[in-house]
A and B are shown apart, each in its own frame.
Chain A
Amino acid sequence: MSQKKTFGDESEMPMASISSDDMSWNRTGSWRNIKPFFDPRTSPCIAGCPAGEDIQSYIQLAREGRYEDAVRAIWKTNPFPSICGRVCYHPCMEACTRATHDQAVFIPAIERFLGDFAIDHQVQSPVSTTVNGKRVAVIGGGPAGLSCAYYLALTGFPVTVFEAKEALGGVLRYGIPSYRLPKNILDAEIARVERLGVAFRTSTAVGRDVTMEELTEYSAFFISVGLQKNRLLGMEHEDANGVMPGLEFLESINSGKPVAVGRHAVVVGGGNTAMDVARSALRLGAHVTVLYRRTRQEMPAIEDEIEDARAEGVVFRFLATPHRIELSQGHITRLTCQEMTLGELDETGRRRPIPVDSYFDIPADSLLTATGEVADTAAFEPMARIERGLIVADQFGRTSNPKVFAGGDIVSGASTVVNAIARGRGAAELISSELTGGKFHPRTEKKVVAMEDVNTAYFARTPRTPMTDNEHARQSFEEVHNGYTCDEVRSELDRCFSCGVCDGCDNCYVFCPDVAISRENGVYTIDYDFCKGCLICVRECPRAVLSTVNEAS
Chain B
Amino acid sequence: MSNFSIPESELMSSGHLACQGCGGANAMRYALKALGPQTVLVMPACCWSVIDGPFPHSAVTVPVFHTAFETAGSTAAGVRAGLSMRGDDETTVLAWAGDGGTFDIGLQALSGAAERNDDIIFACYDNEAYMNTGIQRSSATPAGAWTTTTPAGHTKDRPKKKILDIIAAHGVPYAATATIAWPDDLIEKFQKAKTMRGMKFIHIYAPCPTGWKSPPELTVEVSRLAVQTRLFPLLEIYDGHDYHLRRDIDVRPVRDFYKTQARFAQMTDEQFDAMQRETDAHWNELVARHEESARAMA
Contact = CB atoms under 8 A, between A and B. Distances in A.
Nearest to B184: A510
B219 interface: yes
18 contacts: A13-B56, A22-B13, A22-B59, A23-B17, A25-B15, A26-B57, A27-B15, A28-B15, A31-B20, A511-B183, A511-B220, A513-B219, A515-B12, A515-B13, A536-B21, A536-B216, A536-B220, A540-B221
Contacts of A23: 13-17, 53, 57-59
Interface in B208-256: 209, 215-221, 224
A32 B261 CA distance: 22
Contacts of A26: 15-17, 53, 57
B95 interface: no
B217 A22 contact: no
B85 to A, nearest CB: 22
B2 A504 contact: yes
Interface stretch (A153-161, A294-302, A415-423, A527-535): A527-535
Given A515-B12, A516-B14, A22 B57 contact: yes
A500 B61 CA distance: 36
Contact of A506 (B3, B26, B57, B215): B3
Q: Could you tell me the dominant secondary structure of chain A's interface residues?
A: loop
Nearest to B33: A510
Given A23-B16, A514-B14, A515-B14, A504 B55 contact: no
Nearest to A515: B14
Nearest to B3: A505
B20 A19 contact: no
B10 interface: yes
A513 to B, nearest CB: 4
A539 interface: yes
A203 B203 CA distance: 80
A17 B56 contact: yes
Size category of the binding interface on chain A: 35 or more
Given A19-B56, A21-B56, A21-B57, A513 B2 contact: no
A8 to B, nearest CB: 13
A534 B2 CA distance: 22
A534 B217 contact: yes
Contacts of B224: 457
B143 interface: no
Contacts of B209: 534
B262 interface: no
A536 B215 CA distance: 10
A19 B1 contact: no
A440 interface: no
Interface string A228-250: 00000000000000000000000
Interface of B: 1-4, 6, 10, 12-18, 20-23, 25-26, 29, 53, 55-59, 61, 64, 180, 183, 209, 215-221, 224
Q: Could you tell me the dominant secondary structure of chain B's interface residues?
A: loop
Given A23-B14, A514-B16, A534-B20, A457 B221 contact: yes
Nearest to A539: B217
Contacts of B25: 513-514
A17 B55 contact: yes
B56 A535 contact: no
Given A28-B15, A532-B20, A510 B4 contact: yes
B131 to A, nearest CB: 15
Nearest to B209: A534
A26 B56 CA distance: 13
Given A17-B55, A503-B1, A530 B14 contact: yes
A438 to B, nearest CB: 39
A527 B14 contact: yes
Contacts of B12: 515
Interface in A480-508: 503-507
Interface string A512-553: 011110000000000101101111101110000000000000
B235 to A, nearest CB: 21
A5 interface: yes
Given A24-B13, A24-B15, A540-B221, 7 more contacts: A23-B59, A26-B16, A503-B1, A506-B4, A510-B3, A510-B6, A536-B216
B52 to A, nearest CB: 8
A535 B64 CA distance: 29
A505 B180 CA distance: 17
A21 B219 contact: no
A121 interface: no
A14 interface: yes
A458 interface: yes
A176 B237 CA distance: 65
Contact of B20 (A20, A21, A457, A533): A533
Interface in A107-159: none
A514 B183 CA distance: 15
B55 A19 contact: yes
A4 interface: yes
A516 B21 CA distance: 12
